[in-house]
Amino acid sequence: MAEATASSDALDIAELGERARHLRIERGLTLSELARRAGVSRSMLSSIERGEKVASVLVVDRIATALGTSIARLVADERGEPVIVLRRDAQDVVVDPSGWERRILSPVLPGVEFELMRTTLEPRVDAGAFAPHGPGTREYVAVEQGTLRLVLAGERFELAAGDAIFFDGDRSHGFANPLDEPCVYYLAMELGSRGLREHRAVSMRPGVR
C-alpha cells in the first residue's frame, strides 16, 4: 500500500506511531481491537505504532476515526495557550502519493476534538472515500479553487469555487477533483461528543498493551 509522506514541516512518523499507541492504550483498546475497528491489518497497525512506516492518509484517518479523534491529534502535541499562531512553515502537512495534500490549520486543544484543514487535490485526483466518523460529527467544506466532487453515502455533489456545504460526518464521504486544474478546499470537522464518550468509557479496562 502506498505510503504518505509528511512535512512539518515535518511530521515525524515515529512520533505519530507513539501518539497512536498512547491513545489506543488510553482508550483501553488492544492492538487487535483497534485494527479491527479501523479496518486495517494488525501487522500494519503494529508497524505504524513502531514508527516503521506511515500508510496512506486514508489509513491514518481510519485509525484516528477508530480512536475517536482526528489526524491532527496524531501529529501534534496539545497546546493550551489562550492565543495560538500557526505560522505557515510550522504547520503540519501530510502529502499522499496519489497527488493530494492536507495542511492542518488548527491546533490540538485539551478536551476539544476539532480540525480545520486546507486540502489541495491535483488535476484528476481522487482522494478516496473516508470512513464515517462517530454520531454527532459535523463537517463543513468551502471550495476556494477549482471543482470538488463530494460523494456522501453514494450521493454526489459538484461544488465550484465559492460554494460551501455542511454534512453530518457519520456517513462515508469521498473527495475527488474531476477537472484538469488543481482543486483547493477548506474542511472544518467537529467530532461528535457521543463517540468520544463511548471511547472514554472503555479506557478503564485493565490489561491493555
Residue whose grid cell is 485494527: 35
**Mean pLDDT of the region 77-85:** 94
C-alpha cell at 105: 490549520
Q: Which amino acid, residue 194?
A: R
At 195, is the pLDDT very low, low, confident or very high (cuts 50, 70, 90)? very low
* Greater pLDDT, 29 or 3: 29
Closest CA to 16 of 86, 82, 72, 83: 72
Closest CA to 189 of 174, 168, 164: 168
Instruction: Please give the helix or strand (H or E) that residue 173 lies within, else none.
Output: strand 173-176
Task: State the CATH class of domain 88-192.
Answer: mainly beta
pLDDT at 206: 44
Q: pTM for the complete prediction?
A: 0.82
* Greater pLDDT, 58 or 161: 161
pLDDT at 200: 45
Residue 209 has pLDDT above 70, yes or no: no
Residues of the chain with CATH 2.60.120.10: 88-192
Query: What phi and psi values does residue 121 have, to the nearest 5 degrees?
Result: -105, 125
pLDDT at 98: 87
Is residue 133 within 8 Å of residue 188, measured between CB atoms? Answer: no
At 193, is the pLDDT very low, low, confident or very high (cuts 50, 70, 90)? low
Range list of β-strands (E), 28-168: 93-96, 100-104, 114-121, 126-130, 138-145, 147-152, 155-160, 164-168
Task: State the CATH class of domain 5-77+196-201.
Answer: mainly alpha
Instruction: Please give the helix or strand (H or E) that residue 18 lies within, else none.
Output: helix 13-26
pLDDT digits (tens, 9 = 90+) for 124-164: 999 999 989 989 999 999 999 999 999 999 999 999 999 99
Residue 202 has pLDDT above 60, yes or no: no
